[in-house]
């Protein structure tokens, strides 16, 4: 399986492409601010043909380029239903001043085709099998994408889990209570060998985070006791 990516120049949001191999169809994950040219170069380098854009959540730093990418390639975007409102109007999750500054005065438009994701869904797309885990907390519709096609398991964690930290929960739609539940129920059960490719920052593994991430430690300690 081919996984390649790069951080955007604004907010360092990681944009990824995933494909069975070079010269194949692929999916694009989280095309953020100002990534179109670099993404096109990456696709050309590996001779990839996008068939979908997958969004880990609705914040503008992860969705900014979704419409030009989908429009140029003629492909749909996928987003959890609970964050659908952010794709219609990104200002609902940020202040109008922030949105106007990020958009540079340009009008916002959503992609022509948007498919809504659901917890437990298995996407069979571009020759890949990608599981969808609804993991709210950073936003109500945050999801993680797990590859079922790699020799080693891979999790695209969006802004749920970072190396050494987690996503903030103080923006509209965020909830620390939901984040604790997502860490306990969606993250901690993953195999230690799972490679985590987050929405910001470097790659890590579940095993490393289980041992060193204070949020995962606290989530584990707060898990309900089983048995007597």
- CA 156 from chain centre, in angstroms, equals 6
Q: Are 134 and 128 in contact (CB under 8 A)?
A: no
Query: Can you name the residues that pair with 78 across neighbouring β-strands?
Result: 54, 115
Selection from 55, 14, 17, 8 nearest residue 201 by Cα: 14
Q: What is the dihedral of CA 189, 192, 194, 200, to 10 degrees?
A: 90
Which residue matches tokens 């995933």? 18
Gap between the Cα atoms of 159 and 198, Å rounded = 7
Q: Look at residue 89 in the predicted model and tell me its pLDDT.
A: 83
Positions of the chain with pLDDT lower than 50, given as ranges: 223-228
The helix, strand and coil proportions of the chain, stated in percent and rounded to the nearest 5, come to: 30, 30, 40
Residue-wise pLDDT tens digits, 171-188: 889 999 999 999 999 999
Instruction: State whether residue 164 is helix, strand or coil.
Output: coil
- Which of 125, 167, 159 lies closest to 143 in space, CA to CA? 159
* CA pair distance 149, 8, nearest whole angstrom: 26
CB contact at 8 A, 92 and 83: no
Let me know: does 162 contact 197? Beta carbons within 8 Å. Answer: no
Distance CA 212, CA 82 (A): 31
What is the per-residue pLDDT across 119-162, written as a single tens digit (0 to 9) for each?
999 999 999 999 999 999 999 999 999 997 667 899 999 999 99
* Assigned token pair, 130: 């990608």
Closest by CA position to 117, among listed 54, 171, 68: 54
């Amino acid at each position: 399986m081919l996984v390649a990516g790069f951080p955007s120049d604004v907010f360092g949001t990681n944009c990824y492409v995933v494909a069975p191999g070079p010269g194949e169809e692929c999916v694009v994950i989280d095309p953020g601010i100002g990534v179109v040219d670099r993404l096109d170069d990456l696709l050309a380098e590996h001779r990839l043909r996008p068939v979908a854009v997958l969004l880990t959540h609705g914040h503008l730093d992860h969705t900014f380029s979704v419409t030009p990418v989908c429009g140029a390639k003629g492909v749909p975007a996928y987003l959890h239903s609970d964050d659908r409102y952010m794709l219609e109007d990104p200002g609902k999750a940020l202040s109008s001043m922030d949105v106007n500054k990020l958009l540079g005065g340009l009008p916002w438009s959503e992609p022509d085709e948007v498919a809504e994701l659901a917890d437990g869904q298995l996407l069979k797309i571009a020759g890949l099998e990608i599981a969808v885990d609804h993991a709210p907390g950073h936003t109500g519709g945050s999801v993680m994408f797990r590859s079922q096609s790699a020799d080693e398991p891979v999790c695209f964690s969006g802004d749920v889990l970072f190396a050494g930290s987690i996503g903030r929960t103080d923006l509209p739609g965020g909830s620390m209570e939901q984040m604790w539940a997502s860490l306990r129920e969606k993250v901690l059960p993953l195999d230690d060998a799972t490679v985590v490719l987050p929405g910001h920052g470097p790659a890590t593994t579940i095993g490393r985070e289980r041992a060193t991430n204070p949020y995962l430690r606290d989530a584990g300690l707060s898990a309900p006791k089983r048995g007597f």
